[in-house]
Structure 1
């Protein structure tokens, strides 16, 4: 497996392929707006806020990968959790999953030089995605709205 194939597999796992951890698609499946906005305590982020944070950074890094200038000046990471565009829950999920789909298409179209040039960022965005997917599943378990049948498919 070459680097491009490895990176593509990581994006697929984060987006829609349940492997050693559940995908973002599975983690968000069946969740309504009220459940997504629920918090266990005021100091934690809701699933809605985490999804917005993932949308923000995946969009930002995808634009960078495509060579498109972005105007974002992040002075405080906490602001990336806020829904300044006032997207509905369904719209946010749709936009986030579409961004993940665009990542896969962009990786497939890219050449080896692009992958090697952005290898570190590509790896970190996937680690970042996996970390927050785990948070989403944990929060859903705390709130009692996680389907235990939606577990992982660990195969060797």
Structure 2
């Protein structure tokens, strides 16, 4: 009897595990692509950046949260446009480096990366953000195994950095009242 129970439990566990396992085993390439896509345009565990910035007017993208006294809050002092411009800056530099290109000179002052935004540049920022994310995905799909292994940490950090700032974008949109919770975050 005990043997039958153990066998049945083992069979059930094997069935559950096989139902949860993907058809092909995960690879470094597939994991990195999944991470890049989920932070770009594929809603899975969290809202991707494309959905977070979609449908915003330049005026909405320029809005900076204020505290109760009407002053810019020093802890939350970026607009959606500033956050998106920051992502574009670092993502374009990282992609250029992966491609073996030399990025433009940079002073090293990270604050400057947020300040490369004004309302007139909003459509361009959104377009460049999408384009650079597609660039990462294409590079990852076609890189040699050796190049991919060398770049794995950078690509993982790109996905994490994008997810972090996308969370900030959603928070600012919620404060502003411009986020529709039907788009992924209640």
TM-score (norm 1): 0.92
Larger RCO, structures 1/2 (Cα 8 Å, 6+ apart): 1
Counterpart in the other structure of 1:137: 170
Are residues 1:12 and 2:45 paired? no
Aligned to 1:65: 98
Offset, 1:8: 0.6
Aligned to 1:32: 57
Q: How far apart are the structure 2 equivalents of 1:75 and 1:30?
A: 32
Give the superposition deviation at 1:102.
1.2
Q: How many residues align?
A: 152
Deviations 1:64-114 (A, max 9, x none): 111111233342110111227986211110111111111111111111111
Gaps of 5+ in 1: none
Which of 75, 84, 102 is the matching residue for 2:135? 102
Match of 1:148? 181
TM-score computed with the length of structure 2 as normaliser? 0.77
Residues 82, 117 of structure 2: 8 Å contact kept: no
Rg larger for = 2
* Displacement after TM superposition at 1:145 (Å): 0.8
- Give the match for residue 118 of structure 1: 151
Q: Counterpart of 2:43 in 1: which secondary structure?
A: coil
